[in-house]
Amino acid sequence: MASDWNRFTSKIFKEGRAKYGKGYSFKQALKDASDRKGEMGKMGSSDAATGMSKKSRKSMQKSKKSKGKTKKSKKSNKSTRKNQNK
C-alpha cells in the first residue's frame, strides 16, 4: 500500500505532466512535492483519494481484528499452561 507521501508525489507528477508535458520528470515532481508539503494534509482521506476499494478496507479491518485476537489467545494459552504445570 502506498504511503501518503507517495500518493501526494504521484499527484504532483500527474499535474506536472499535464502542465509541462513529457519533459516533466519524476525527479522534478519530488522537488516540487517537497516545496508543497503543506498541501499534503489537505488532500483528504476519502477513499477516492487513497485509491482504496471497499473490499481492501474490509480486509484491513479483519486483519487488525485478527491480530488482536491472536495476541489474546497466546496470552490465555500461556496462563493455562502455567496453571496446568502447578
What's this model's pTM, rounded to 2 decimal places? 0.48
Q: Determine, yes or no, domain membership for 26.
A: yes
CA distance 44 to 78: 43
Q: Determine, yes or no, domain membership for 82.
A: no
Supply the range of the domain harboring residue 21: 1-36
User: How many domains does the chain contain in total?
Assistant: 1
Examine the pLDDT at 68 and tell me if it is beyond 70.
no
Mean pLDDT of the chain: 75
Q: Determine, yes or no, domain membership for 21.
A: yes
CA distance 31 to 26: 9
Q: Determine, yes or no, domain membership for 8.
A: yes
- Do 28 and 16 form a contact (C-beta atoms < 8 A)? yes
Better-scored residue on pLDDT, 62 or 69: 62
pLDDT bracket for residue 49 (50, 70, 90): very low
